[in-house]
Structure 1
Amino acid sequence: MTPAAVQQRGKVLWPVAAWFWALQFAVLNPLLAVLLVALYNATPTEVGWILGLYNVGGFVASLVIPSLADRAGDYLRPLVCCALGGLALVVVLALTTSLPVVVLALVILGGPPGVGSTLLFAQLRHEGAPPARVIRTRAIVSFAWVIGPPLATLVTGAAGTPAALALLAGIGVVNVITALLLLRPRGDAPADAATRPRLPAQLRGWNRWGVVGAFTLLQATNIATVTIATLFVSHTLGAPIIWAGLTLGAAALLEIPALLLIGRLQEHRSVRLLLVGGWASGIAYYGLAAIVRDPWQLLALQPLNAWFFATVAGLGLTVFQEVFPSPGLASGLFTNTRRAGAVLAGLLIAVLGTFPSPYRAVYVAASIVVFIVLAGAAAVITRHRSAAR
């Protein structure tokens, strides 16, 4: 296939693949607890344990599968296997009535489908895609996460759990097809695998782990404030819960154009400058959100929130791909900053729960955390410049 033909096919195939891989996860996540209760009569305690095991399986898969793909220098064959695993999971959910079988399926088959987007980003890096294209693809993923949860609840509410399983099966079939199409003969990727350091060498160095730690903290601030948003609106501001939905929805929708704009700016501006601007937006958003008195004020601040998280989610991925030479390792580690951030967010909310105004305290703490990350990054850059003189 000629390079021109490969490029033309990719213009359609890559966005479709990115959309449906993200949509699969965005539909399954809000439905999983409902399916466990409706189809298998799981108790609340059982649901908690099952979701915990499912997330552990996803965590392991997001590290192991991309690392194995790095060693093989092939990200598309594992993508096909992940697609088949996702389809097999839906089949098991549809056919079995045994809760232990479902748990086993979720642990073994549920993890790989969550790695699909990670492998797609790894393949983009492997093919030498510019950061702007990676960020644009990330915008597609964000859009899928905007559509997925309401689509899942709408279908389930209108036609029941069988329709939800049918929706997941349809998405799974599309993922298998797109993975197979991507696997077809394509243009040569840059032969950089032989020049990459071995895995232990890539994991050494305080600077690398400083990047991982910084983005984990940034993810934690986003997760913590999203988690308490409804309680902040209803308990602290004394407003109807619908304002929380409007606020979260506005942030999610604004994130998409923010990512697209960052993708364009990245081609002409320094990544460091864009990161500083994004993190400054985060400090401003969290600080101002902590002092709002009315829900419309919180809603008006969402452009700052969207710009901040777009720099974390979009530029953050490209930063990891620069810091860690192996594409699978880079994408896998970045994905897990979100998982680790969720743990830290829970701890942060728990610690601040004893404060007189705990939900305002979460926003204040988030602003301080982002400021510390920004100050730490500035200190590291200054030290490196001084050492280079």
Structure 2
Amino acid sequence: MLPSPSAHLASTKLFIVLSILTGLVGAFINPLMSYFLVDSLDVPPIYIGLYTISLTISGIVISQWLGSLADKGTSSRKLYLLATAGTVLALVIYSNTQSFIVVLIAGVILMALGNATTPQMLTLGRQWAGNNTVNITQFNARIRACFSFAWMLGPPLGFMLVASVGFSGAFSVAIFFGLLGMLFVTFFVPEQQIDESKQQSTKMQKAPLSFWYLGAAVVMGSTANTMYTSALPLYTLNELKLPSYTPGVLMGIVACIEIPVMLFTTRLSRWVNKKDLMIISFMFGLVFYIGIFNATLFWHFALLQLLNAVFYGLYAGIGLTLMQEQLPQRIGFTSAFYSNGIKIGLMFGSTGAGFIAQFFSFKHTSVGSAIAAILGVICLLLFSRFKCQESSISPISN
């Protein structure tokens, strides 16, 4: 007997709540870390790069390893609890030390383990959706929209807490959401059964060349977006002398618009191929970055955010599903790969923004974003080309 639609709706809501709780933990921590290292630990700015690169590399290795364990049958539910526990323990250490070395070690071991929280949540949700008659594109789009919603709330609240009660207060709230997520999973989210035949086929399903081109496109999208957002405050405030509220208002505008765009990608994917939607998203991004390079007034930036919202809404709303479709028997691997692609883009984007600003200006970071968008389109075209070749050799429906 199939579960009733009301049962599906109830389970979908469980994962929506879980995605918000998971997103809030990262939304409270990540925007504060550079500030925390320089202001609280009083280390040189170059240490930010050391921490970021070390954490990113360690996090990629650990999350891909846990993703492979999930594909082999290890409970994603238990892996989620393990990863979240790593985040909580790291934040406890951050709140009680003034040593950069201690923070770095805790970051490379515990916070890197915590970086697997999001991929395991995505894997757990995708396993549930695969076991039920659920529109997976719509389900993933809702999950990604919930992450955007969490990032609308987390950063401003985090900085407000730092201003009022210090970093320990902001970290304590993140710990609270982490523990709440663990309790929520323990008592409300059911264990997901995995077909043993699928586990066996996992060993045979290799990632083809087309998959890596798609992964590179995901990295390029994240790079372009991060390069723009990293430079936005300094460009608008220091170089253009716009009002102090400009960056916050612009980020708020795009966040409000991109959420409905993500949710609308489900309907669009019925009429337009997902790969073509990704290409369209990068084209919107390219036009947006060209516009930003030529913008000088507040209303220019405000209007251009519509293009930015369409770019990132389509990119984030469809990217995860498209990647999971390439290796349907390796959901743990693809979910971790997608999340790590976003993280690599964050590293490339923030580093690239600083490099370009050092030798040119913060205005020219939009040129770097435009180049990343063009590279993203090229990667998607290569993905499409090699996908067709692979299908002609071994026609497997994805």
Say yes or no: TM over 0.5.
Answer: yes
User: 1:375/1:99 Cα in 2 relative to 1: closer, same or farther (>3 Å)?
Assistant: closer
What does 1:158-307 correspond to in 2, within 5 Å?
A: 158-182=164-188, 184=190, 188-189=193-194, 193-194=198-199, 196-198=201-203, 202-203=206-207, 205-307=208-310
Shift, 1:138, TM fit: 0.7
- Aligned residue pairs, count: 384
* Alignment check: 8 A CA contact 2:83 2:113 kept: yes
2:144 is aligned to 138
User: 1:143/1:192 Cα in 2 relative to 1: closer, same or farther (>3 Å)?
Assistant: farther
* Alignment check: 8 A CA contact 1:33 1:47 kept: no
2:348 is aligned to 344
Distance 1:300 1:361 in 2: 20
Distance 1:214 1:163 in 2: 38
User: 1:138/1:191 Cα in 2 relative to 1: closer, same or farther (>3 Å)?
Assistant: farther
CA deviation string 1:98-123 (max 9, x = no partner): 65444433322212222212111112
- Aligned equivalent of 1:156, options 143, 158, 162: 162
Distance 1:310 1:335 in 2: 16
1:86 is aligned to 87
Distance 1:126 1:87 in 2: 25
* Alignment check: 8 A CA contact 2:16 2:142 kept: no
Distance 2:388 2:39 in 1: 59
* Alignment check: 8 A CA contact 1:76 1:182 kept: no
Shift, 1:287, TM fit: 1.9
Distance 1:24 1:334 in 2: 19
* Alignment check: 8 A CA contact 1:237 1:295 kept: no
User: 1:30/1:372 Cα in 2 relative to 1: closer, same or farther (>3 Å)?
Assistant: closer
1:24 is aligned to 25
The alignment's TM-score, normalised by the length of structure 1, stands at 0.85
Distance 2:242 2:12 in 1: 45
Shift, 1:71, TM fit: 2.0
* Alignment check: 8 A CA contact 1:126 1:190 kept: no
The alignment's TM-score, normalised by the length of structure 2, stands at 0.83
* Alignment check: 8 A CA contact 2:126 2:331 kept: yes
Shift, 1:150, TM fit: 0.9
Matched, 1:43 2:48: no
Unmatched 5+ stretches in structure 2: 393-398
User: 1:11/1:83 Cα in 2 relative to 1: closer, same or farther (>3 Å)?
Assistant: same
User: 1:170/1:379 Cα in 2 relative to 1: closer, same or farther (>3 Å)?
Assistant: closer
1:115 is aligned to 116
Return the letter of the residue paired with 1:154.
M
User: 1:351/1:44 Cα in 2 relative to 1: closer, same or farther (>3 Å)?
Assistant: closer
* Alignment check: 8 A CA contact 1:132 1:267 kept: no
Shift, 1:253, TM fit: 2.4
CA deviation string 1:52-89 (max 9, x = no partner): 43344323322222222222252111112122223333
Shift, 1:367, TM fit: 2.8
Return the letter of the residue paired with 2:346.
A
What does 1:348-367 correspond to in 2, within 5 Å?
A: 348-349=352-353, 352-353=356-357, 358-367=361-370
Distance 2:186 2:387 in 1: 45
Distance 2:339 2:29 in 1: 17
2:396 is aligned to none
* Alignment check: 8 A CA contact 1:77 1:183 kept: no
Distance 1:37 1:101 in 2: 15
3-state SS of 2:243 partner: coil
User: 1:168/1:124 Cα in 2 relative to 1: closer, same or farther (>3 Å)?
Assistant: closer
The alignment's C-alpha RMSD in Å is 3.2
* Alignment check: 8 A CA contact 2:290 2:367 kept: yes
